[in-house]
Structure 1
């Protein structure tokens, strides 16, 4: 199962996901490199004695790759965030886990302008809610945590996507059960460069509405992709939303 893909600087592609083709029989992180026509050049697996799922990959400035997702094989809790850095051939250079005793999971990673990494996910270990809160983690170029922030209410929030913005802040997108008008609403949070919230918006109707991906647009606004039960012709429809960049 693949969950993330990006074109690489040689015109090929890098894919990340999970596979059970391992000696342990549990899902492992799976990294696949292809040429420009999609033919496999190499693949690598990373994992331990339990479940490990990769959800996001990006090529780094040095030609290697950064991968994140969730692990039950390593770390302190039931699920922990797992961050792996490889060289250009997919060989591991280092890895880190983040989390405490309960549930911590990552869905998105991006290398940022200072060479470090920004990770978005969800956490039961930190924050104020009984259930998951948005989790934003900033690391240095070696994957050591510099800070983290949580965002959430009395129910659950899952951050699915993060991007550094033009002013070196961050934009997060996912969905919330604590705020908004429906059973779930898309939730967009804008932060400064230190991860402190500048503003947030809920988007949706009376049904369950989610956002899974966000990008800043050339006009300073944001484009979101997700799913909606509130709008459209079917029970669940694809959902594309454009918002302005002002509060």
Structure 2
């Protein structure tokens, strides 16, 4: 039998719907009587929130996959627990879909005895807007990231092994909207290489960018890894980042301008110190600029979101020489310079895992120690400077230029992951409770959804379609800092077409004034 040890922190950034009014900052705790841990945060097209991870509240002896849907004021809409008896499962990633549904990937470790060949197993599950299963698929390997693609299908990525004696390889799976397999591939550096993948994103040319790490056991080096593929999963380029002086790791890669922004960390094996990393690269993987992020002690900033004028990062850091880890959020401009940094200390051991910028406010999520229980999922709302009114303060964090060596790495195709149907037992228990009603967060969520906004993410055009007989008197587009943008609009009868050609890639906000009030939401420009 082979034993493994290690840890995985998942920090994902998504968009929070917000307007220009005012509302209270808040903290909400979600969970049952057991232990809930967070893996994913996403926002529905109507502004509701999705939190996903694992729970022991239904089956105390094992973890089950757990999702909570809240409205824009943090009130529970539904919860779902998915159980596969005899296994301990957790959701690895979850995203909301353009139709208001959900796609998530879950993972568990099978037993080590024959006749099983594949020991790490995953599921890919699509839910309708009410949280009910539309379809579910079993896939060999551990799938850690999922996204909806521009053609309405899905891409799922992770890592897989063929037997207990083999090393992990990167895995990439394409499904259509109905869950049918389009293709699946694995990529390996060869004998003595172990590859892990933590995020995938679709690129503007409808290919994919994979981010993770690779361990070269032949030379004893752990490096960060980026792989660019075409639309069919063929490798266009692959590069490793780092050298023997430090272990380097990439968490997320995002499309940003004419290239990508990547965040990760580097562990110096000499002085045993961990710093965050932030890199801008061009479309070929070549560096534009590179930054290291420092605090008084180790710093992990695995969460990142590209905005119209910079980036927001989230993670945990030791901010004082003898202090504990504390949750932090950072704002960085497009040149890699620090704008602000804040922490959220609390006696209840709060830990931030996710953060999102938006016009008028931010949404953060993580886990929190709950009175009389173990840990719950939590949701925190702040203003655009990260201020919640719940005890947060500014902190000292430095960002410096750094050189991260990079080199090409040859990857070859391995065995394709197998896909098959799977079923689950479903439970719908769980609560959402107030922890703190803080200060003004500059957010207005009191609105009725009367409009369909598509596609999102958008390319050249964004369409606004009435879901009722309401007429749009005005449609305005804003940056995340509240700057109004003048964009061409064309009335096409039952919908308005907005020309986005002049916009750079990033987050933007939409304000629609109609007969029945004002509707505010967000969209992504690719």
TM-score (normalizing by structure 1): 0.87
Q: Is the 8 A contact 1:231 1:237 kept in 2?
A: no
Following the alignment from structure 1 to structure 2, what is the Cα–Cα distance between the partners of residues 149 and 245?
A: 23
User: 2:335 is paired with a residue of what secondary structure?
Assistant: coil
- State which drifts further: 32-41 or 194-203: 32-41
Q: Against the structure 1 CA distance between its residues 21 and 155, is the aligned structure 2 distance closer, same or farther, given a 3 Å change threshold? A: closer
2:311 is the counterpart of 1:222:
yes
Q: Shift in Å at residue 7 of structure 1?
A: 0.9
Q: Matches of 2:183 and 2:332 in 1, distance apart?
A: 38
Residue 397 of structure 2: aligned partner: none
Q: Take 2:179 and 2:331, find their aligned partners in 1: how far apart are those partners?
A: 36
Using the TM superposition, give the Cα deviation of residue 98 of structure 1 relative to its aligned residue in structure 2, in angstroms: 1.4
Q: Which residue of 1 aligns with 2:228?
A: 138
CA distance in structure 1 between the partners assigned to 2:188 and 2:328 by the alignment? 32
Residue 36 in structure 1 maps to residue 129 in structure 2: yes
- In structure 2, stretches of 5+ residues that fail to align are 1-89, 337-526
Partner of 1:124, secondary structure, is strand
Question: Which one is further off, 112-121 or 30-39?
Answer: 30-39
Secondary structure of the residue that 1:156 maps to in structure 2? strand
Aligned residue pairs: how many?
A: 239
1:178 Cα deviation (Å)? 3.4
CA contact (8 A) 1:57 1:65 kept: yes
Unaligned runs of 5+ in 1: none
The answer on whether the counterparts of 1:29 and 1:53 sit within 8 Å (CA) in structure 2 is: yes
Residues 44-193 of structure 1: pairs in structure 2 closer than 5 A: 44-47=137-140, 52-73=141-162, 78-100=167-189, 101=191, 102-125=193-216, 130-153=220-243, 154-167=245-258, 169-178=259-268, 183-193=273-283
* CA distance, structure 2, for counterparts of residue 8 and residue 19 of structure 1: 24
Shift of 1:67: 0.8
Structure 1 pair 198/36, CA: closer, same or farther in 2 (3 Å)? same
Q: Secondary structure at the match of 1:194?
A: coil
Taking the aligned partners of 1:195 and 1:140, their CA distance within structure 2 comes to 14
Q: Does 1:207 align with 2:303?
A: no
Conserved 8 A contact 1:104-1:121 = yes
Q: Could you say which residue in structure 1 is the equivalent of 2:100?
A: 11
Alpha-carbon shift at residue 18 of structure 1 (Å)? 0.8
Q: Which has the higher contact order (CA 8 A, sep 6+)?
A: 2
- The RMSD of aligned alpha carbons is 2.8
Find the residue that maps to 2:268 and give its secondary structure: coil
Matched-pair contact (CA < 8 Å) for 1:182–1:209: no
Describe the superposition over 1:145-180 as per-residue Cα deviations: whole angstroms up to 9, x where unpaired.
00011111322111111101122x01111111139x
Report deviation, 1:30: 1.4
> In 1, Cα distance between the equivalents of 2:317 and 2:130?
34
Tell me the alpha carbon deviations over residues 115-164 of structure 1, each in whole angstroms, 9 at most, x when there is no partner. Answer: 100000101249xx843211111000000000011111322111111101
Cα distance change of structure 1 residues 87 and 235 upon mapping to structure 2, 3 Å threshold: same
Cα distance change of structure 1 residues 12 and 234 upon mapping to structure 2, 3 Å threshold: farther
**Compared with structure 1, are the counterparts of its residues 6 and 234 closer, same or farther at alpha carbon in structure 2 (3 Å cutoff)?**
farther
